[in-house]
Structure 1
Amino acid sequence: MLEQLRNRRITAYCLLGVCLLTVLFVVTGLTTPVRTLLVLVFVTTAPGWALISYVNVRHVSVTWISAVGLSLALTLVVAQMLVLTHAWHPEAAVVVLAVLTSALLAHHVVRSRPPREAGAR
């Protein structure tokens, strides 16, 4: 159980880094192949992992498959909303999605901390 919490915490930290770098690259307007790859990694993994981690899935492979599927579905819904509202601002949508995902990932980091010792302060 502690190993699973540790892995979730490490994954949440890594995806939190991806979210923050995505926001940084998009807000500053850097146009490099790294930005494209970073946004692609973010859009296909982070939002879904942040949501699916609230469900107690026992297998890591099922967690990741579900995370990718959920991320793609969520991204498609956001894109569809941008089209339907005639408010096509994909960069703003990515930033908002990354900020919301970061909040969920930060909660996972706090939630997966190991319990403190009874005598430690």
Structure 2
Amino acid sequence: MTEQLRNRRITAYCLLAVCFSTVVLILTGVTTPLRTLLVLVFVCTAPGWSLISYVNVRHVSVTWISAVGLSLAVSILVAQMLVLTHAWHPEGAVVLLAFATAGLLVHHVLRSKPPREAAR
């Protein structure tokens, strides 16, 4: 169980770095292939992983398959909302999605920290 929490915490930290990097590249207006790749990695993994990690899935492969599926579903819902509201601002939507995802990832980091040892 400790190993699973450690892996969850490390994954959450890595996905937080992806969220942060995505937001920085979007807000600075940098247009490189790295930005495209980073946004794609973010949109396809982070939102779903931040949600599926609340479910106790035993197999890592099932967790990641579910994370990708949920991420794509969330991205489609966000895009559909942009279309329906006639407010097509995909960069703003990705930034907002990154902030929402980062909040959930921070919660995963905090809840997966090992308990402090008793004072000696």
TM interval, shorter chain, is over 0.9
Matched to 1:101, the amino acid is T
Offset at 1:119? 1.8
Deviations 1:62-109 (A, max 9, x none): 000000000000000000000000000000000000000000000100
Which residue of structure 1 aligns with residue 63 of structure 2?
Answer: 63
**SS at 2:56's partner residue?**
coil
Q: 2:113, 2:26 → 1: CA distance?
A: 31
Partner of 1:33: 33
Aligned residue-pair number: 120
- State how far apart, in whole Å, the 2-side matches of 1:21 and 1:98 are: 10
2:47 maps to what in 1? Answer: 47
Residue in structure 2 matched with residue 72 of structure 1 by the alignment: 72
Structure 2 unaligned segments of length 5 or more: list them. none
User: Is 1:14 aligned to residue 14 of structure 2?
Assistant: yes
Q: Find the aligned partners of 1:40 and 1:2 in 2 and give their Cα distance.
A: 31
Amino acid at match of 2:30: L
Q: State the distance in 2 between where 1:77 and 1:100 align.
A: 14
CA distance in 2, matches of 1:23, 1:104: 16
1:17 is matched by which residue type in structure 2? A
Task: Give the root-mean-square deviation of aligned CA atoms.
Answer: 0.6
Q: Which amino acid aligns with 1:107?
A: H
TM-score scaled by length of structure 2: 0.99
Q: Which amino acid aligns with 1:57?
A: V
Quote the offset at 1:118 in angstroms. Answer: 1.7
Runs (4+) off by over 4 Å:
none
Tell me the secondary structure at the aligned position of residue 97 of structure 2. Answer: helix
C-alpha distance in 1 between matches for 2:58 and 2:16: 22
Structure 1 gap segments, 5+ residues each: none
